[in-house]
Amino acid sequence: MNVIALSWWQLMMAAGLVIALALCTFLARLGVGRSLLIAAARTAIQLALVGLVLETLFAVGSLHWVALMGLVMLLLAGREVMARQSYRLRGGWSFGIGTLSMFVSAFSVTVLTLVAVIGPEPWYAPQYAIPLLGMLLGNTMTGVALGLERLTESAWRARDEIENRLMLGQTWQQACSGFRRNAMRAGLTPIINSMAAAGIVSLPGMMTGQILAGTAPALAVKYQILIMFTIAAGTGFGTFVAVSIAARRLFDGRERLRLDRLYPAKQ
């Protein structure tokens, strides 16, 4: 099956829909028209640049360049996790915890999938490694960000309850156990909803892209199932690691709640 090539003027027609939407939001006085246009422009520019980088990377195919690309993606994802927090841990801990948890989960699941499941030759073939890592990092980033946001905000707002529990003799794990569970649930909810609705409410993006590119639907389905399962594993393990480390950071060695280690992002 031949893939229908898209020209730039055809993309401009699609961009016209976004411009029309921005105009409607302006007329409705929603106050998001400028943000919508900036986001659309960033999407076009960023994806165009990524396309150029990937074409070069696919041509080179070196492990060092693939690893460097993965490292850059990881650091940018860690920054996004930190930027989404209403209450951040001081000393760069929000960035560090988010980055570490995504490295432990997304990178390990990606390598395992490449080596043991897909098996490309070589195993780090950028055609498989970069898209897989990108999807895992993107979804794990969302789960980790939601988990940390729920944990730190809950600790900030319920500090009196936590301190009362500590004074009654509970350990720090017991005093914040409910908040940790809620934070982990918040991180896992998006991927659970995505898996529950896949194929019924919506066709996932990767599957749709493969079908549009001419891949047989049966093969596209297999890849999408693989991706959904690996994303669920990466998101779950990443959220567990991030929430566990952040929860411990909220208490000192004498098991006292240390909210001075948190600060509002807008201050």
Strands (E), the chain: 87-89, 262-264
Domain spans of the chain? 1-60, 62-264
Question: What amino acid occupies position 78?
Answer: G
pLDDT under 50 in the chain at which residues? none
Backbone angles phi, psi at 57, to 5 degrees: -65, -40
Tell me if 175 sits within 8 A of 162, measured CB to CB: yes
Question: What amino acid occupies position 239?
Answer: T
Which residues are registered as beta bridge partners of 89?
262
For helices 63-83 and 33-60, the axis angle rounded to 10 degrees is: 160
User: Can you tell me whether residue 243 is helix, strand or coil?
Assistant: helix
Enclosing H/E stretch for 99: helix 93-102
Tell me if 162 sits within 8 A of 152, measured CB to CB: no
Residue 57: predicted pLDDT: 86
Residue 202: predicted pLDDT: 67
Task: Identify which of 185, 224, 184, 223 has the alpha carbon closest to the alpha carbon of residue 101.
Answer: 184
Residue 110: predicted pLDDT: 93
Q: What is the pLDDT of residues 171-197, one digit of tens each?
A: 999 999 899 999 999 999 999 988 888
Residue 266: predicted pLDDT: 67
Alpha-carbon gap, residue 183 to 174, rounded angstroms: 15
Structure tokens at 13: 């027609």
Distance in angstroms between the alpha carbons of the first and the last residue of the chain? 56
Tell me if 238 sits within 8 A of 227, measured CB to CB: no
Residue 195: predicted pLDDT: 87
Q: What is the pLDDT of residues 154-170, one digit of tens each?
A: 999 888 999 999 998 89
| pTM, two decimal places | 0.83
